[in-house]
Structure 1
């Protein structure tokens, strides 16, 4: 009988963990503005990220990916299509498989993670997991309209 209780307890914990992970997947997190610093925000970014910022776009979506990440491929399709049809939006996929220090410097704990960065390198929002295009576009509207 004890084995049955252990099994039920294990299944309950697994179901709760699955529910929590699923509810956090694709959640958009607004980033609070950092206190003013002497250096520009781009100077605090790792070099591979700072190099891909598009100065001509209001927002650059930097997708942090790894080679064997299946959701990363789906995210790439969603973000590329979104950037293609949205003026002022650029998408860049940055594979950090061989550059774990980049993910560490950005406090990225899972892939895919998408960072929305302004041309000066300021992070305005972050999406962990597979993003929902409509919700992401809605969250980006104020940043896209500010430079339009």
Structure 2
């Protein structure tokens, strides 16, 4: 009779633990984006300073990253006279693994375009075409910084 009683106690305890773990499942909880890890990591990289940012991850061992560097530098230089000239931020994935993980960077090169408020607008895997990057950045650069 004792093994049966122990099995019943274990079953009740396991059911109670399962219910406690699932009680938050499906509930909508407010988040504070100002305190999130992503926001603080992006702010540390210069994103969200009131101007658009082209953030591209690279590494010393990445061959195509040099092409991305040239394309982004040329496009940001073309838009330097805009009301909100975009910033060119290059990060080494080996030096910034936390931000790369937070942004789900799975391959190199990976480029992001953020607006002045720090919202991700575009994500580009591989080497971006200069004309496409310029057309993505132009509307953001033409907006006056708030």
Fold shared, TM-score > 0.5 on shorter chain = yes
RMSD: 2.5
Which residue in 2 is equivalent to 1:74? Answer: 67
Change (3 A) 1:40 1:122: farther
Hey, what's the Cα distance between the residues in 1 that align with 2:36 and 2:86? 18
**Conservation of the 8 A alpha-carbon contact between 1:62 and 1:116:** yes
Which residue in 2 is equivalent to 1:62? Answer: 55
Which residue in 2 is equivalent to 1:138? Answer: 135
Q: Deviations over 1:63-110 (max 9, x none)?
A: 111220011111011101111120321111100114333211111111
Which residue in 2 is equivalent to 1:45? Answer: 39
SS at match of 2:123: strand
SS at match of 1:69: coil
Runs of 4+ in 1 over 3 A off after TM superposition: 40-43
Which residue in 2 is equivalent to 1:21? Answer: none
Hey, what's the Cα distance between the residues in 2 that align with 1:56 and 1:101? 23
Q: Which runs of 5+ in 2 are unaligned?
A: 1-29
Find out whether 1:113 has 2:134 as its counterpart: no
Change (3 A) 1:112 1:125: same
Hey, what's the Cα distance between the residues in 2 that align with 1:137 and 1:42? 30
The equivalent position to 2:94 in structure 1, one of 86, 94, 97, is: 97
Change (3 A) 1:98 1:90: closer
Q: Which runs of 5+ in 1 are unaligned?
A: 1-35
Change (3 A) 1:103 1:131: same
Hey, what's the Cα distance between the residues in 2 that align with 1:107 and 1:146? 28
Considering Cα pairs closer than 8 Å and 6+ residues apart, tell me whether 1 or 2 has the greater RCO: 1
TM-score (norm 1): 0.64
Further displaced range: 69-78 or 115-124? 115-124
Number of aligned residues: 111
Larger radius of gyration: 2
